[in-house]
Amino acid sequence: MKILETERLTLRLQTTDDVYFILELVNDPSWLQFIGDRGVRTVEEACEYIVNGPIRMYEQFGFCLYLVERKEDQIPIGICGLVKRESLEDVDIGFAFLPKYWGKGYAYEAASATLAYGIDILGLNRIVAITTQNNEASAKLLEKVGLKFERLVQFSNDSEELRLFSFNNHLKL
């Protein structure tokens, strides 16, 4: 099911038909470095990841991480969407793209559309994002779409401190 459309991209719900793409994405070295190892190594585990992650989140909250496809050829290039984590009070925006699609403006296009969707359609007044402290590319993208660095956060004593960015719609004039 299509959720959003931009000039070059379609953002749609993930399905179990996307297992091979998700398996590739979550095992990409950049995902492992900046997002973390989700332990997804097989097609079956990728299917469970989709069902218990994005599909369940959409059923529960009405949003999730969407699959991002290029309109021109329906090739999946990444994921982008909104997430409700137990560890964060606010809804956060997340994205990940295969490295061969970096530097082409796709992440900016998808993240901008997702932020607008969260504000205009879902009525969210505040949207946050988290990044590792060394993920400069994601931090720059978050700032480019309108989020501002707020503070460092730590979710458990043994986890690293992450950068928290926020967009506060009610502060806009």
Span 147-168, pLDDT tens digits:
999 999 988 777 789 999 999 9
CB 93 within 8 A of CB 117: no
CB 7 within 8 A of CB 110: no
Spell out the long-range contacts of 28-32 with Cβ–Cβ below 8 A and sequence spacing 24 or more: 28/98, 28/99, 30/96, 30/99, 31/96
Q: For 90-125, write each residue's pLDDT tens digit.
A: 999 999 999 999 999 999 999 999 999 999 999 999
Q: How far apart are CA 21 and CA 23, in angstroms?
A: 5
Q: How far apart are CA 95 and CA 74, in angstroms?
A: 18
What is the structure's pLDDT at 173? 39
- Number of neighbouring beta carbons within 10 Å of residue 101: 16
Over 90: is that where the pLDDT of 58 sits? yes
What is the structure's pLDDT at 169? 80
- Beta strand pairing call for 9-12 and 2-5: antiparallel
Threshold 0.85, pTM exceeds: yes
Over 80: is that where the pLDDT of 171 sits? no
The overall average pLDDT reported for the chain is: 94
